[in-house]
Amino acid sequence: MQLNNNKGAALITVLIALVVLSILGIALMSTTLADGKQAIYQQDKIQSNYLARSAVDDVASHIIATHNAPSISLPTTKSFDFGDYAITKLQASHSNTVFYIEATGNVNGTSSTVGLTVSKENPSDLFDKAIYTFDDLNIELMNVYGDIASEGTIKYATNGSTKYDTDLWKAYPGETLELEYTVFPISADYMDLTNNNLAVSGEFPISIDTNYNNVDVPNGSTLKFLTVEGSILTVGINNLTSGNSGSIIVEGGGLLKLYIYDTFESKGDFHVEDGSELELMVYENALVELQTPLSFNPNEDPNKVRIYLDEDSTLSLQANGNYNAYIHGPEAYIEMQSSQTTVNGAIIGNILQGNGNKPMGVVNYKKPDDSWSLYNAAFSKRFYQ
């Protein structure tokens, strides 16, 4: 009788164990199925998001390339094997300088909506400080009149002749500046400039697009770039040298795009006549040294001169020079080597430095005029969901 009772207890124990295992198995199966469904959902969500991003990116690429929104009827849809997207909104504002695009991607019933703002950077947006550097900024040996900013640290004098007046202007250490770097045309490495040399004698005019290997402007000679109002004159030079009493003049009322592939040393007069404009493009690893006397334009309008510096290039501003210009070199080195060196405009550089313990001159901030556009005008793209 006792044996039968033990058998009954064992049977109950086995049944209970089977029930528990069944429950655990069902729970595990449910969890596995739920995880599988969640994984499928996440995969569809990701794919739908990428479809939406692809849609707004296509429209943004068109805007950046043409500076205009494409002519499309809304909603515009496109289907793929695994899903589809619909561009549902396209708006332009602020005189076609800001565009908003919205699209929804759909995969197996799972949708994702992405919005994108595309805005054109104007000079006043980009050059909104007297100086901005990506590396640390030290102006203890410089007089600066305007706000200063750096992605790194900032040092400035708190007393003495170079005291930075924080009651009038502000310093912004650790500020991030997001911009698209200037795209330079084809490098001189791909051009045959070997035999295209020019030794200027007297007064020599350049009025057509051309490239030179070496151009020498000796004492007493003048190199003139003759532009035409409403037109662009493009000249590329590997090595350009001007003597102490040599002159380089831009005139005619048009725009000169001057590409420096290797070196540019000016010891004489280099200026832009009233009404003309200059875009000085300094290529990768190139060196530009501008010395006394220099006045980029007599009317002190920095909007007439823009200097673009490519990666690891160097711009050296020396002695009694008045540089009325906007300087854009986020990956470049900029040197100011005299207390008599003055920049009227604004500077963006990787590093701004002096020469040892010598004074570094003056920077007077001038707000840019939005009537001119940045070279290959950049657009910033901002996503959000």
Closest CA to 206 of 246, 186, 234: 234
31 versus 308: which is more confidently predicted?
308
Residue with tokens 């040092």: 155
Q: Mean per-residue pLDDT for 309-320?
A: 90
Do residues 254 and 274 lie in contact, with contact meaning Cβ atoms separated by under 8 Å? no
pLDDT 10s digits, 7-25: 567 777 777 877 777 787 7
Q: What is the pTM of this model?
A: 0.75
- Token pair, residue 227, equals 């532009």
User: What pLDDT shows up at residue 285?
Assistant: 94
Q: How far, CA to CA in Å, does 103 sit from each of 13, 51, 59, 61, 113?
A: 60, 9, 10, 15, 6
Domain 2-120 has CATH 3.40.720: no
Do residues 280 and 300 lie in contact, with contact meaning Cβ atoms separated by under 8 Å? no
Instruction: Please state the separation of Cα 15 from the chain's center in Å.
Output: 73
**Range of weakest confidence among 76-85, 132-141, 178-187, 205-214:** 178-187
Query: Residue 124: exposed, middle, or buried by beta-carbon count in 10 A (0-12, 13-18, 19+)?
Result: exposed
Q: Mean per-residue pLDDT for 341-360?
A: 88
Do residues 31 and 82 lie in contact, with contact meaning Cβ atoms separated by under 8 Å? no
**Range of weakest confidence among 21-30, 210-219, 233-242, 277-286:** 21-30
Q: Mean per-residue pLDDT for 173-187?
A: 78
Closest CA to 251 of 222, 221, 217, 276: 276
206 versus 187: which is more confidently predicted?
206
158 versus 374: which is more confidently predicted?
158
Residue with tokens 């899903």: 83
Query: Residue 160: exposed, middle, or buried by beta-carbon count in 10 A (0-12, 13-18, 19+)?
Result: exposed
**Range of weakest confidence among 203-207, 216-220, 222-226, 318-322:** 318-322
pLDDT 10s digits, 39-91: 788 889 899 999 999 999 999 988 888 888 999 999 999 999 889 999 999 99
Residue 330, preceding bond cis, omega within 30 degrees?
A: no
User: What pLDDT shows up at residue 108?
Assistant: 92
User: What pLDDT shows up at residue 381?
Assistant: 77
Do residues 330 and 350 lie in contact, with contact meaning Cβ atoms separated by under 8 Å? yes
Share of residues in the chain with pLDDT > 90 (%): 56
User: What pLDDT shows up at residue 27?
Assistant: 72
5 versus 378: which is more confidently predicted?
378
301 versus 84: which is more confidently predicted?
84
Domains of the chain by residue range = 2-120, 123-365
The pLDDT mean for the chain works out to 87
Closest CA to 353 of 367, 338, 334, 339: 334
Query: Residue 244: exposed, middle, or buried by beta-carbon count in 10 A (0-12, 13-18, 19+)?
Result: middle
Which helix (H) or strand (E) is 316 found in, with range? Answer: strand 314-317
Share of residues in the chain with pLDDT > 70 (%): 90
Q: At CA 244, angle to CA 198 and CA 329, rounded to 5?
A: 75
Give the integer Cα–Cα distance in Å for 324 and 339. 16
Instruction: Please state the separation of Cα 264 from the chain's center in Å.
Output: 24
- Token pair, residue 57, equals 């990116």
Q: How confident is the model at residue 194 (pLDDT cuts 50, 70, 90)?
A: low
Asked whether residue 32 carries a pLDDT value surpassing 70, the answer given is: no
203 versus 37: which is more confidently predicted?
203
User: What pLDDT shows up at residue 1?
Assistant: 45
pLDDT 10s digits, 257-271: 999 999 999 988 888
User: What pLDDT shows up at residue 346?
Assistant: 97
Asked whether residue 289 carries a pLDDT value surpassing 50, the answer given is: yes
AA identity, residue 37: K
Residue 293, preceding bond cis, omega within 30 degrees?
A: yes
Q: What would the 3-class secondary structure string for 55-71 be? A: HHHHHHHHHHHHCCCCC
Query: Residue 21: exposed, middle, or buried by beta-carbon count in 10 A (0-12, 13-18, 19+)?
Result: exposed
Asked whether residue 380 carries a pLDDT value surpassing 80, the answer given is: no
AA identity, residue 232: I
